[in-house]
A and B are shown apart, each in its own frame.
Chain A
Amino acid sequence: MAYFITLLKLFTMYFKIGLFNFGGGLASIPLLQNELEKNGFMGYDEFFNVLSISQMTPGAIAMNTATFVGNKAAGIGGAVVATFALALPSIIVILILAKVLQRLEKNIYKRAIFFVLKSLTTALILYAGYMIARATWILQNKVEIKTIIISILMFGIAYKKKINPVILIISSGVLGYLGLYIL
């Protein structure tokens, strides 16, 4: 019984986070941390550890923390419940919205708003890059020239050549290991 109550608690909490998490990724952290503490799943220090693991591993950050917290609270069942609860509001909202947008295809207001939002979204994408750069090019208050070199190199290849980004990501992992650990 206690197991099911935990699952229910996980579901409710992550559904709520999924519903009120706007702007993606790092924007959701304060809400997430608050909810975890309130529900007694995880304290601040522990959350910070989980957050850094979530950033290092593939997948959306919020999703990774959901899997982690779920595992900790109720094993693999908890992980599945938490992760799906987080995804569910998105799936519902987007499915409805996709239909509405299709109907508005030619609407002048929709087109004007999307014209502005296209520029804003591009700025937000670049800003996300800047935020990652701040945590990668500068380590412990020192400029890390090796990571800057990798960034510039990969930018050049990605922009000029039609190469699969997966190959660039894997090679950069190798370069990071060689350049930052071996050397």
Chain B
Amino acid sequence: MLKELFISFFKIGLFTFGGGYAMLPLIEKELVEKRRWITQEELMEMFIVSQMTPGTIAINASTFIGSKKAGKLGGFVASLGIIFPSLIIITLIYNFLGESFDNPVIHSIFLGIRACIIGLIASSTLKICRKSFISGMSYIIFIIAFILLLIFDISPILLILLGALLGAVTTFFLPSRIKSILEVK
């Protein structure tokens, strides 16, 4: 189990370009569809927790899944798996290429990869909306949040704090309404 955890996360780390959020499609494929270690629902929960807590999303997410699968040691091993590719690749680059990396060939390859990541992220977002949004309210909150980010440049931390507050306050004042939304599923 530990070996499988390490290999899976090593693979995910190796192909995560452009930050933690870009891991989502890879985790979906490797851990939800192929290995069936977690459900789509758990994947979302894991991303939510990874965002609220300090640290890079990639390491948070790995620790979370690893610990769910194989306890504390599993969490540790999964994080090692995700860290290793960075450690190896960057160390090689530093020692062989130095600090200037202005190679037009690498640049063009990287642009292609980034363009792909955009498509993957868009596809994942659409899949999440269709699979795990349980009420119309989910869509309304999603759209408002996206507008706040896009136009008002709200900080992600503030957004999450406001969201948590909204959830808590509505539960306090309208518990039956909240229950009816949550029971739909």
**A-contact 0/1 string along B98-126, CB 8 Å cutoff:** 01110011111111111111111111111
Q: Are A76's CB and B150's CB within 8 A?
A: no
Given contacts A63-B56, A129-B125, A177-B108, contact A57 B93 (CB under 8 A): yes
9-residue interface stretch from A5-13, A33-41, A120-128: A120-128
Q: When the two chains form the complex, which single residue of B119, B157, B163, B178 contacts A158, counting CB atoms closer than 8 Å? A: B119
Q: When the two chains form the complex, which single residue of B20, B99, B143, B181 contacts A60, counting CB atoms closer than 8 Å? A: B20
> What's the Cα separation between A21 and B99 when bound, in Å?
25
Q: When the two chains form the complex, which single residue of A132, A159, A166 contacts B126, counting CB atoms closer than 8 Å? A: A159
> Which chain B residues (15-69) contact chain A, with CB distance < 8 Å?
15-22, 24-26, 29, 33, 44-45, 47-60, 63-64, 67-68
Q: Are A64's CB and B123's CB within 8 A?
A: no
A152 CB–B CB distance under 8 Å: yes
Which of chain A's residues have a CB closer than 8 A to the CB of B142? 119-120, 122-123
Q: Which of B56, B67, B93, B155 has the most CB of A within 10 A?
A: B56
> What's the Cα separation between A111 and B164 when bound, in Å?
10
Shortest beta-carbon distance, B86 to chain A, in Å?
3
Given contacts A108-B178, A116-B164, contact A169 B15 (CB under 8 A): yes
The SS class assigned to the B binding surface is: helix
> Which chain B residues (104-160) contact chain A, with CB distance < 8 Å?
104-129, 132-134, 138-139, 141-143, 145-146, 149-150, 155-157, 159-160
Q: When the two chains form the complex, which single residue of B44, B55, B63, B101 contacts A52, counting CB atoms closer than 8 Å? A: B101
**B-contact 0/1 string along A35-63, CB 8 Å cutoff:** 00000000000100110111111111111
Given contacts A71-B94, A121-B51, A123-B145, contact A176 B104 (CB under 8 A): no
Q: Are A113's CB and B168's CB within 8 A?
A: yes
Shortest beta-carbon distance, A130 to chain B, in Å?
7
Residues of B in contact with A (beta carbons under 8 Å apart): 11, 13-22, 24-26, 29, 33, 44-45, 47-60, 63-64, 67-68, 72, 75-76, 79, 82-83, 85-87, 89-91, 93-95, 99-101, 104-129, 132-134, 138-139, 141-143, 145-146, 149-150, 155-157, 159-160, 163-164, 166-168, 170-171, 175, 178-179, 181-182
10 contacts between A and B (CB under 8 A): A24-B19, A55-B19, A59-B89, A97-B53, A98-B63, A128-B22, A168-B120, A172-B116, A176-B113, A181-B104
Residues of A in contact with B (beta carbons under 8 Å apart): 18-28, 46, 49-50, 52-64, 67-68, 71-72, 76, 79-80, 83-84, 86-87, 89-91, 93-95, 97-98, 101, 108-109, 111-130, 132-133, 135-137, 139, 144, 147-148, 150-159, 162, 164-166, 168-169, 171-177, 179-181
